[in-house]
Amino acid sequence: MSEKDKVLIALVSCGSEYAGVQKELESAASTLNAKLVYPEMDVASLDTIGMEFGLEVASPDLKLMMARAKAVVEGVAKVDGVFVTSCFRCAEAAIVRNEIRRYIFQSSGLPVISYSFTERTTAATLLTRLEALTTIARRKHLLAREHQVGITAGVDSGSTTTKAVVMKDDEIIGEGWVPTIKVLESADTALQQALDQAGLKKEDIQAIGTTGYGRFLLGEHFNADLVQEEITVNSKGAVYLADRQQGSATVIDIGGMDNKAISVQDGIPGMFTMGGICAGASGRFLEMTSKRLGVEITELGDLAVRGMQKNVEMNSYCIVFGIQSLVNSLAKGSIPEDVAAAACHSVVEQIFEQQLQEVEVKEPLILVGGSSLIAGVPKALGDLLKIDVLVPPHSQLIGAVGAALLASGYVKG
Amino acid sequence: MAKVIIYPTNSLILSDMVERFGHEPLAMMEKIREKITTIGVDSPPLNITPEGPKHGLKYAAVEVPAGVRGRMSIIGPLIDVAEAGIIVGDASISFGCMGCARTNELTKFLIREKDIPVLEIQYPHTEEEGKAFVYNIAEFLKALPSGGDDE
**Alpha carbon distance A409, A412 (integer Å):** 8
Start-end of CATH 3.40.50.11900 domains in chain A: 7-138
Q: Is A78 a residue whose pLDDT tops 80? A: yes
Q: Which of A20, A22, A23 sits opposite B53 (nearest CB)?
A: A20
Q: Which CATH class is domain A245-391?
A: alpha beta
A149 Cα distance to chain centroid? 26
H/E segment holding residue A175: strand A171-179
In this prediction, residues A352-358 reach a mean pLDDT of 75
**ipTM for the complex shown:** 0.89
Is B150 a domain residue?
Answer: no
In the DSSP assignment, the letter for residue A115 is E
CB contact under 8 A, B65 and A46: no
| Chain B, nearest residue to A118 by Cα | B66
**Spatial CA neighbour of B3 closest among B149, B146, B151:** B146
| Chain B, nearest residue to A122 by Cα | B50
In this prediction, residues A148-156 reach a mean pLDDT of 96
* Amino acid (one-letter) located at A300: L
| Chain B, nearest residue to A21 by Cα | B50
Q: At A356, give phi and psi (nearest 5°).
A: -75, -10
State whether residue B102 sits within 8 Å of chain A by CB. yes
Start-end of CATH 3.30.420.40 domains in chain A: 146-231+398-410, 245-391
β-pair type (B24-26, A112-117): unpaired
**Alpha carbon distance A353, A107 (integer Å):** 25
**Alpha carbon distance A251, A269 (integer Å):** 9
> Measured between CA atoms, how close is A17 to chain B, in angstroms?
7
Is B77 a domain residue?
Answer: yes
- Tell me what percent of the residues of chain A surpass a pLDDT of 70: 97
β-pair type (A151-157, A161-168): antiparallel
Task: Report the CATH architecture of A7-138.
Answer: 3-Layer(aba) Sandwich (3.40)
CB–CB of B107/B26 below 8 Å?
no
Quick one: pLDDT at residue B42? 57
**Alpha carbon distance A8, A19 (integer Å):** 23
CB–CB of B49/B42 below 8 Å?
yes
H/E segment holding residue A382: helix A376-385
Residues of B (3-22) whose Cβ lies below 8 Å from A? none
Of A54-63, A327-336, B58-67, B69-78, the one with minimum mean pLDDT is A327-336
Classify the C-alpha dihedral A242-A268-A140-A208 as positive or negative: negative
Is B85 a domain residue?
Answer: yes
Q: Which residues of chain B make contact with A93, given a CB cutoff of 8 A?
A: 65
> Measured between CA atoms, how close is B20 to chain A, in angstroms?
28
Is B14 a domain residue?
Answer: yes
Q: Is A322 a residue whose pLDDT tops 50? A: yes
> Measured between CA atoms, how close is B33 to chain A, in angstroms?
15
* pTM score: 0.79
Query: What residues does A167 pair with on adjacent strands?
Result: A152, A172
CB contact under 8 A, A15 and B42: no
Where do runs of H (alpha helix) occur along chain B? 12-20, 28-37, 51-55, 66-81, 101-113, 127-143
CB–CB of A265/A316 below 8 Å?
no
**Alpha carbon distance B132, B124 (integer Å):** 8
**Alpha carbon distance A133, A139 (integer Å):** 10
State whether residue B63 sits within 8 Å of chain A by CB. yes
**Spatial CA neighbour of A355 closest among A282, A285, A280, A272:** A272
Q: Which residues of chain B make contact with A119, given a CB cutoff of 8 A?
A: 50, 52-54, 66, 69-70
Q: A52-64 burial, b for 16+ CB within 10 Å, e for fewer?
A: ebebebebbbbbb
User: pLDDT band at A274, cuts 50/70/90?
Assistant: confident
| Chain A, nearest residue to B69 by Cα | A19
**Alpha carbon distance A42, A167 (integer Å):** 53
CB contact under 8 A, B67 and A87: yes
In this prediction, residues A223-242 reach a mean pLDDT of 93
Quick one: pLDDT at residue A405? 96
In this prediction, residues A229-250 reach a mean pLDDT of 92
Residues with Cβ within 8 Å of residue A97, at least 6 apart in sequence: A65, A84, A85, A86, A114, A116
CB–CB of A407/A228 below 8 Å?
no
Which CATH number describes the domain made up of A146-231+398-410?
Answer: 3.30.420.40
CB contact under 8 A, B93 and A59: no
Q: How many domains does chain B have?
A: 1
**Spatial CA neighbour of B93 closest among B104, B84, B82:** B104
Is B110 a domain residue?
Answer: yes
Mean pLDDT over all residues of chain A? Answer: 89
Q: At A112, give phi and psi (nearest 5°).
A: -140, 135
Q: Which residues of chain B make contact with A88, given a CB cutoff of 8 A?
A: 65-66
H/E segment holding residue A14: strand A7-14
Of A101-115, A177-191, A312-326, B97-111, the one with minimum mean pLDDT is A312-326
CB contact under 8 A, B67 and A58: no
**Alpha carbon distance A332, A75 (integer Å):** 61
Where do runs of H (alpha helix) occur along A17-122? 22-31, 49-53, 60-73, 91-108
State whether residue B48 sits within 8 Å of chain A by CB. yes
**With a cut of 50, which residues of chain B have pLDDT below it?**
148, 151
Of A109-113, A187-191, A272-276, A310-314, the one with minimum mean pLDDT is A272-276
Residues with Cβ within 8 Å of residue B41, at least 6 apart in sequence: none
Domain that holds residue B74: 3-143
CB–CB of A61/B100 below 8 Å?
yes
Give pLDDT tens digits for A174-200. 999 999 999 999 999 999 999 999 999
> Measured between CA atoms, how close is A107 to chain B, in angstroms?
26
Helix, strand, coil percentages in chain B from 3-state DSSP, rounded to 5: 50, 15, 35
Top pLDDT among A98 and A170 is at: A170
**Spatial CA neighbour of A356 closest among A30, A98, A81:** A98
Q: Which of A17, A43, A118 sits opposite B46 (nearest CB)?
A: A17
> Measured between CA atoms, how close is B131 to chain A, in angstroms?
24
Quick one: pLDDT at residue B151? 46
Is B119 a domain residue?
Answer: yes
**Spatial CA neighbour of A123 closest among A31, A34, A33:** A31
